[in-house]
Amino acid sequence: MAIEFTFGPRERLLRRTVQEFMRNEIRPMLKEDKTGHGTFPVEAVKRLQEHGFFGVPIPREYGGAGLGEVGYCILVEELGRMDSSIATIVGAHTGICLTPTWIFGNEEQRERFVRPMADGRALGAFALTEPTAGSDAAGIRTRAEEDGNEYVLNGRKIWCSNGDRAEFVLVMAVTDPTLGARGGVTAFMVEKGTPGLEVGSIEDKMGIRSSSTAELIFKDCRVPKENIIGDIGAGLIVALTALDGGRAGLAAGGVGAVKEMLERSLDYSRKRRRSGRPIADHQSVQWRLAEMATDAYLNERAVYEVATLVDRYYHMLARKERPPRELRDEISRKCAMVKVSASEAAGRAVESAMSIFGAAGVRDIWRIEQAFRDQIIIEIFEGTNEIQRMIVARDLVDRGSFW
């Protein structure tokens, strides 16, 4: 499906709003804590929730802003420019918990779960990865056994962003081991405080240190059947659909990082003088700037075209329509493509910025070293870039053509 994308006045106003709000209100609150597992930015998150930035893509009737996936990607891009930890917190909440709950939930679940998460009263998290199942999501072992009107969950989940802070956790668990990936996994919404839900260790990470990454332990955790999101056995569809859209958001964060590195490098290289002239006069610096600008331009176009496509797809699913298989495959392929491209562009951009800044880049004050540590995770989480390449390649080989 060919889409020509341009930003409208609404999107431009949203971008300016996020930029100025982040610069004036949120940025002063943020200081990276390099001890232990970092400090969750409670006050900054609260301010963003109060301003509706935790429910941007969700329709107004469910408490969101109704600005769609394009609005969400603009938000994540601008957050990613300022602070990757905040972008991660919003992404884990909106991209992979709130949005799939809205898409696959019924009206009662939308009132119970979607509304409080979209209007900023509650934080969400997503729990799929386990110690023995990461990229091979179908290999999860957390069990959910039916017992009357409830399911009893047992198992461990790791790498849950917001896991220890969330009021709602979207958990994938095996309801029928005999079916495996094809109908054996179901999505459950587990509420904070449910007996049997425990927070395990909090990760001490190299980057995105202000976001909280928790282990969640389920010990005879009883979840009512009305908390099943989507159909029984459709858990992997819920998870993979969430991850597709989530990847578009991650890619937008990567675009934000490239733009930020370019802007800072450009500014620095025009001011920093060596041998009597700005270092921006040197061809080696100019090439790096040109590469960053090219990456920013191309990835921005691709990300927002995909976001438009994802928006249509999600709205079809939310209306309980059945999208054509071709559209689903196209979404998966393109989301994987932009995730690979933008995340690796972000990696290249921070390397270039580090090179342009030289010794200054490793100093704390310029926050290039923090970006260096933060950006690497975009290539890893919500499906490593290796997995994304497999998704693209399988689709190509299956269809035997590029378009």
12 binds other proteins (CB under 8 A): yes
The two most distant CA atoms of the chain are separated, in Å, by 79
Indicate the residue among 53 and 304 with the shorter CB distance to other proteins.
Answer: 53
Q: Is 326 a catalytic residue?
A: no
Q: Which of 242, 295, 298 has its CA nearest to residue 265?
A: 295
Among 4, 6, 9, 193, binds other proteins (CB under 8 A): 9
Of the listed pieces 4-12, 192-200, 369-377, 388-396, which binds other proteins according to CB under 8 A?
4-12
Give the nearest distance from C-beta 63 to other proteins in angstroms.
9
Q: 255 to 284, contacts with other proteins by CB under 8 A?
A: none
Of the residues 108, 291, 382, 386, which is catalytic? 382
Q: 33 to 62, contacts with other proteins by CB under 8 A?
A: 50-53, 55-56, 60
Half-sphere exposure of 128 (CA within 13 A, CB side): 26
Indicate the residue among 41 and 55 with the shorter CB distance to other proteins.
Answer: 55
Among 1, 10, 111, 326, binds other proteins (CB under 8 A): 10
Q: 64 to 83, contacts with other proteins by CB under 8 A?
A: 65-67, 71, 75
29 binds other proteins (CB under 8 A): no
Give the nearest distance from C-beta 262 to other proteins in angstroms.
16
Give the nearest distance from C-beta 297 to other proteins in angstroms.
16
Indicate the residue among 249 and 383 with the shorter CB distance to other proteins.
Answer: 249
Decide: 64 and 79 in contact? Cβ < 8 Å: no
Among 3, 25, 201, 386, binds other proteins (CB under 8 A): 25
Of the listed pieces 19-27, 142-150, 154-162, 166-174, which binds other proteins according to CB under 8 A?
19-27
Give the nearest distance from C-beta 118 to other proteins in angstroms.
10
Of the listed pieces 9-17, 134-142, 174-182, 258-266, which binds other proteins according to CB under 8 A?
9-17
Give the nearest distance from C-beta 27 to other proteins in angstroms.
13
Indicate the residue among 46 and 182 with the shorter CB distance to other proteins.
Answer: 46
21 binds other proteins (CB under 8 A): yes
Give the nearest distance from C-beta 113 to other proteins in angstroms.
19
Indicate the residue among 21 and 366 with the shorter CB distance to other proteins.
Answer: 21
β-pairing, 185-191 with 168-174? antiparallel
Task: Tell me the three-class secondary structure of the chain, residue by residue.
Answer: CCCCCCCCHHHHHHHHHHHHHHHHHHHHHCCCCCCCCCCCCHHHHHHHHHCCCCCCCCCHHHCCCCCHHHHHHHHHHHHHHHCHHHHHHHHHHHHHHHHHHHHHCCHHHHHHHHHHHHCCCCCEEEECCECCECCCHHHCCCEEEEECCEEEEEEEEEEEECCCCCCEEEEEEECCCCCCCCCCEEEEEEECCCCCEEEEEECCCCCCCCCCEEEEEEEEEEEEHHHEECCCCEHHHHHHHHHHHHHHHHHHHHHHHHHHHHHHHHHHHHHCEECCEEHHHCHHHHHHHHHHHHHHHHHHHHHHHHHHHHHHHHHHHHCCCCCCHHHHHHHHHHHHHHHHHHHHHHHHHHHHHHHHHHHHHHCHHHCHHHHHHHHHHHHCCCCCHHHHHHHHHHHHHHHCCCC
Label residue 98 left, alpha or beta by phi (over 0 means left) and psi (-120 to 50 means alpha): alpha
20 binds other proteins (CB under 8 A): yes
The size of the interface with other proteins (CB under 8 A), counted in residues, is 23
Give the nearest distance from C-beta 46 to other proteins in angstroms.
14
Among 2, 4, 6, 24, binds other proteins (CB under 8 A): 24
205 binds other proteins (CB under 8 A): no
Residues serving a catalytic function are: 382
Q: Which residues bind other proteins (CB under 8 A)?
A: 9-10, 12-14, 16-17, 20-21, 24-25, 50-53, 55-56, 60, 65-67, 71, 75
